Amino acid sequence: MKQGLPKDWSRVSNCYGVAISSRILLPFLGAFVVAPYLVTFSPWLAIPVVLTMGIYGYKISFILHDCSHNALFSRKSVNLWVGRVCGWMVGVNYDVFRQTHLLHHSHNGQGLDPQHGEVNGFGGASRGKLLHHLLTPLLGMRAPEIILGYGGGYLEAEEGEQATLERVADEGRRTRILWLGGTGLTQIVLALIVANFGMVPWAVLLYPLAVVTVGLFLARMRTFAEHCRPEGVETPDFTRSHRPNWVDSLLLYDAHFNYHLEHHLFPQIPSNRLRNLYDKFGEQYHTEATIASSMFATVARRVLDARG
């Protein structure tokens, strides 16, 4: 199947990279600019501000993702620095993110997969356990593990895989000063903007609140929809795609990330071509379990099918 791919499908489009980055970053940064004026007019307007910051702050992960595959811009150096700067906006060390994301591809559903703890261990789980897993981020209950840098996934490595973990740790140590300096400076600038340079000081709390609630909740929902296995399916690297859905695209994905199985099968193909892959080859590899109409519907169905 890979031999049948048109050569131009591997070509990276800079125009697409600019379009995706702008579509995510402009609403994200715009929320910081308008926030002090909105919340001064009415504190209740902090709610849509937090939602916007949370949604688009979460969607910055799609910029980081495509940069980590050197697939958002044609030059590797541009992908590297766009990824780093966007990572500073959300407190993520992009260099480590790239390493751990590649582990997700090479160890999908296994111990070294950084998302292992997000989607595994739910076979036969009760409805209450699933709801607890899905909803606790919305209450900010994942904040401690994020602050402490604990993701809970690739820590299950076997003894022979410790070298891989050490390589990721080395990357973190090598880039720590750059990441801390860049993140610190970026967060200070964002705090000054959202507080209107001290005129609305309490507004600095809006962005951290958005990250540890809305952002982490949406990330968990999408990951669960993409990789949580249906009851009875034992394939460890199970991956699911979803057809385009405007509600999902508003809240859960961008950059054609709904075609997730296509991305795992052809990680070298830029995301603007994932729809083409699905249209041309989807019938060859999709089953009833690996394609669904909506991410929210997938999550709801999995919860409803669980034992009470």
Lowest average pLDDT, out of 102-116, 229-243, 250-264, 284-298, goes to 102-116
Mean pLDDT score, 13-20:
98
Task: Tell me the domain boundaries of the chain.
Answer: 14-240+291-305
What does the pLDDT look like over 78-116, one tens digit per residue? Answer: 999 999 999 999 999 999 999 989 889 988 887 777 777
Residue, of 105 and 165, whose pLDDT is higher = 105
pLDDT tens digits along 38-56: 999 999 999 999 999 999 9
Task: Output the furthest CA–CA distance in the chain (Å, rounded).
Answer: 60
